[in-house]
Amino acid sequence: MYVMKNIYLIQLGLYFFALSMSPLTAQESCQVLVWSDEFNQAGTPNPLNWTYDLGTGDGGWGNREIQVYTDNNENVRVEDGHLVINARKNNAGQWTSARVKSQGRQSFQYGRIEFRAKLPAGSGTWPALWMLGDNITQVGWPRSGEIDVMEHVGKDPGKIHGSLHSLSSSGNTQNTGSTTIPSFASEFHVYSAEWTPQSITFKVDDVAYYVYAPNPKNVDNWPFNQSFFLIMNIAMGGNFGSDPQYESGDQRNGVDPNLSFAEMLVDYVRVYQELTEAPKISGDSIVEPNSQGVQYNVPVQGGTFNWTVPAGATITDGQGTNTITVDWAEAEGEVKVEIGGDCGSFTSVLNVKKKLTPIGPNIVFDDFEDGNFSRWTALPGNGNSFELLEENGELRIIYDITSPGQNPSLVFDLGQPVALTTLSQMQITARTNNTSGTVIMRVDMIDAQGVETNASPVFNLQPIVDNGNHHTYTHNFKGDWESSFPNAGALVDSTAIQGFRLYINYGFFGSAGRDTIWLDLVEMVNPLTTGTNELLNQAGWNVYPNPARGFINIQLENDFTDALNGDLLIELFSIQGKRLLSEKMDKGIHKKEIELNGIPTGLYLLRISQGKSFTIKKILVE
C-alpha cells in the first residue's frame, strides 16, 4: 500500500539552480543534460547538491517505517564512483539507514530524470528513487505532488514500481504501474521518468511500462507543473515494505530476521531537458597562455558540428564532433560551434580570455600617464554625479553626492583576468583637501565571474588624510577574498581578477555634497616584498633624464648613501609587471648609469630596493 512518504516541518529556502552542461545526452535526439552528479569524488556527497532527512520522522515518516535515518559515513558516502546507501541493523536490533535529498540545492521542472542504480535484496527492504514538489513546506503532502521514479520492496523481488501521488490519488494510489527486472540486485539498471507538461512516462533501461496523462488536468490530479527535488533512500519495513510473515505486535516491522545489512549503489543521477535554444559551450573561459589540451563541448549528440577558434589557437582533436581539444598558445577570443541536425540549427559562442600572470613584485593597474581613462566606468546612481579628468599624471574625480544610498562607485576593468594570488596587496596613492569633510573611499576586487569582495569591511580608506598631499593607502586582500552578496560565503577567484570597484562616500548617510579626489597610482604588490623601513621613501635620490633616451642615471645624495646598510638592487619593469633588466648598485656609490638598449618607447617602472624595503618611480622612454 502506498502512503505518504514524508512530513516536512522545517521551512527551507529555495534556490535557483545553475545549469551545468556536459557531453552526455538522453536518447531523445533533442534533449541535453542540464545537471548531473556522477559521484566521482569520494567522501561525503556533494553538499552543493545534497542534504539529508534525519531521525525517525513523524509516525515513521508517515509510513510506520522502523529505520532511523542518519548522515553517518557508515550509512551514506561516495565510494568507488557510486553513492552508497547502507541500511544496517545494530546489536540492539535497531535499523539505521540514510535518505539523501536535493531540497534547497537542486530542483527541476520537466525533463528526463534518470537514476542508474543497483538495488538491495532482502524481504523488508524498501529502496526508492523519487521526487517531491518544492512547495511541500508550504502546502504539505499530497498537495505538493510526488513522483516515484522507482520503488522496490524486497518481499516482491524484482517487481519495480513507478507511481504518482496527488490530491486525487494518494495513499493507496491508483496512478501506478510496474515491471519485472530479475537482475535488480546483481546488475545496474537505469530507472527514469520522462516528464512533460502533458504526461509522465516511467521506464527501465529505456523501456516504457507506465504512462500517466490525465485529461483534463486540474490541481487535484496534476500538481506536476512546478519544480521538484530529488530523493534517494532505503526504508525498512513500513506500510509498503513490511513483510507480514515477519511482523509482530501489530507493527509494520516485517523484516527478514536473518537480514542485517542492505545496500543500494547509485552510479549517477542525470537530468535532461529539451533543446529549445543554442546550447551552452562548456569548457574553460579563462586560460593560461600556452595552455594545451583544453576541451570544449556542447551537450548534443548527432548532427553536424563546425568549430572555429581564434587565430593563433589550434583545434588538435574533435573537429566535426560535439567535443574539441584546443591548444591556445597566446591566443584569446571566441570559441564558436555551428550545429545542424534533427534538433535544428544553432550557433553557440563562448568568449575565452587569456589570463595574465604578472612577473615581478607588482602590477600597475593605472598610473594616469596616457590621458586615457576609458577603463573607468562611473556608476553614480540617481541623484549623484561624477566628472573624471586625467591631467598631470593623475585622475581627478569631481563628484557631487546627495544620495549616498545609491552606492556611488567607479568600476575599473583590467581588460583581461589577472592572477593576484601573490600580488595581493593593493596600494592606492591619492590626495584630497576634503573640503566637504565627508570623503570616504572603499575598494572591492571583482573576479572574472563578477563576484566581489563585498564582505564588509574589506578595504576602507578612512580616515583619509586631507592635507592635499599624496598619501598611499594599502590593504592586503589575502584572507579577504570573501563575498557576502548575492551569494553569502562565496569566494572571489584571486587567480582571475577582472577589476575593482571604488566606492566614493561609502557608508556616509546624509548628503555628502561636492568634493574632489585625485588618484595618482593604483597598483598591486607582493606584501612579502614590503617592509617597515621608510629609508627608501625619503627624497634622497633622483632619476634623470626622464623622459629618457638610451640611458638613465641614478643619483643618490651623500646623506642618503651614508644611511644605507647595503647594496641597492635596481630593476626595470613593464607596466604589466614583466622585469626587463636588473643591476646592482654597490654601497657607497653615489651615481650609476643604466643602459636602456633594446627598451622600446613607453612607460616603465623603476624599482630600487634594499632587503624588503623598496620604492618605485615611473620612467618614460622616448
Confidence at 529, pLDDT banded by 50, 70, 90? low
Q: Please tell me the least confidently modeled range out of 85-94, 126-135, 248-257, 507-516.
A: 507-516
Residue among 444, 457, 458, 450 nearest 501 (CA): 444
Average pLDDT over residues 546-566: 75
pLDDT of residue 509: 54
Helix/strand/coil (H/E/C) assignment for every residue in 434-450: CCCCCCCEEEEEEECCC
C-alpha 319, offset from chain centre: 29
Q: Which residues of the chain are in CATH 2.60.40.3080 domains?
A: 535-621
- Is residue 151 part of the annotated active site? The answer reads yes
Confidence at 622, pLDDT banded by 50, 70, 90? confident
Q: Which residues of the chain are in CATH 2.60.120.260 domains?
A: 362-529
Choose the catalytic residue: 114, 146, 194, 452.
146
Q: Which residues of the chain are in CATH 2.60.120.200 domains?
A: 31-274
pLDDT of residue 511: 60
- Express each pLDDT in 389-405 by its tens digit: 998 889 999 999 888 88
In terms of DSSP bridges, do strands 99-101 and 189-195 run parallel, antiparallel, or are they unpaired? unpaired
pLDDT of residue 576: 60
Q: What is the pTM of this model?
A: 0.57
**What is the CATH number assigned to the segment(s) 535-621?**
2.60.40.3080
CATH 1.20.1050.10 for domain 31-274: no
Confidence at 5, pLDDT banded by 50, 70, 90? very low
Task: Give SS3 for 558.
Answer: helix
E strand intervals along 19-175: 31-37, 51-53, 68-69, 76-79, 82-89, 95-97, 99-101, 107-108, 111-118, 125-133, 146-151, 159-165
Residue among 119, 420, 126, 122 nearest 264 (CA): 119
Ordered DSSP codes for 385-450: EEEEEEETTEEEEEEEES-GGG--EEEEEEEEEE--SS--EEEEEEEE--TTS---EEEEEEETT-
As assigned by CATH, the class of the 286-354 domain is mainly beta
CA distances from 313 to 289, 333, 418, 531 (A): 10, 9, 20, 43
Asked if residue 416 has pLDDT above 70, the reply is yes
Choose the catalytic residue: 151, 263, 332, 452.
151
Residue among 275, 323, 322, 280 nearest 303 (CA): 322
- Express each pLDDT in 587-616 by its tens digit: 778 788 999 988 998 888 787 776 656 677
- Is residue 146 part of the annotated active site? The answer reads yes
Higher per-residue confidence, 60 vs 488: 60
- Express each pLDDT in 473-528 by its tens digit: 888 898 889 988 877 778 899 999 999 999 988 655 556 679 999 999 999 988 76
- Express each pLDDT in 114-124 by its tens digit: 999 999 999 99
pLDDT of residue 15: 26
- Express each pLDDT in 260-315 by its tens digit: 999 999 999 999 998 888 888 999 999 999 999 999 999 887 789 999 999 999 99
- Express each pLDDT in 197-241 by its tens digit: 999 999 999 999 999 999 999 999 999 999 999 999 999 999 999
May I ask the CATH architecture of the domain 362-529? Sandwich (2.60)
